[in-house]
A and B are shown apart, each in its own frame.
Chain A
Amino acid sequence: DAGVIQSPRHEVTEMGQEVTLRCKPISGHDYLFWYRQTMMRGLELLIYFNNNVPIDDSGMPEDRFSAKMPNASFSTLKIQPSEPRDSAVYFCASSPRQGAYEQYFGPGTRLTVT
């Protein structure tokens, strides 16, 4: 299996621009998670989906952030408008089931907002 795939790997954008991050989970996995990693806050769970349905978005920092999962093999995380404090590494992860099952992480997208 190719593992979790994320694109782009690096994104540099100017403040105010829209940013879209993409994720393809491992085939057959029912759960998809979006995380953000910064030096100050470590790894934070932003939102997760079960069978394409958002279950918990309490970690989404504000209304500028939105996430969708239109089908079992694709998800997006959108920031509009972007701000410099959104600069971070964004990880996508998937697992075959919630609870006692292992999560697998993608390579991450390093976002820099200038």
Chain B
Amino acid sequence: GIQVEQSPPDLILQEGANSTLRCNFSDSVNNLQWFHQNPWGQLINLFYIPSGTKQNGRLSATTVATERYSLLYISSSQTTDSGVYFCAVKGAYNTDKLIFGTGTRLQVFP
């Protein structure tokens, strides 16, 4: 099945810093989502981005489907950005399941 790898596994930042999180996937996809799991455990939808670029405030994401990767950019990080960021994909040839990466754990310190 399709493999999803995220990097880095852990990231520690000081408030105000910028960061880039990466998601690589092993096959063609027709759905890619970025989620933030906050310290209370809630999974929050950040972006639905099977291709192209989107921006929402301090966050933006880019997916290059032909090269099988997606990037999540966080600018001017805040302590509330702490948590785990997941990338999840659905294969273009098997759309039954959303396959999650193992996540990037982000800690932002004041």
Contacts and interface: CB of A to CB of B under 8 A. Distances in A.
B10 to A, nearest CB: 15
A34 interface: no
B43 A91 contact: yes
Interface stretch (B18-26, B61-69, B93-101): B93-101
B56 interface: no
B41 interface: yes
B90 A89 contact: no
Contact of B96 (A43, A55, A91, A107): A55
A102 interface: yes
Contact of A100 (B41, B43, B50, B97): B50
- Give the interface size class of chain B: 20 to 34
- Give the interface size class of chain A: 20 to 34
Contact of B33 (A42, A89, A103): A103
B37 to A, nearest CB: 9
B31 interface: yes
A89 B41 CA distance: 9
A56 B96 contact: yes
| Interface pairs A-B: 7 shortest CB-CB | A99-B95, A105-B43, A102-B48, A43-B100, A100-B30, A100-B31, A45-B97
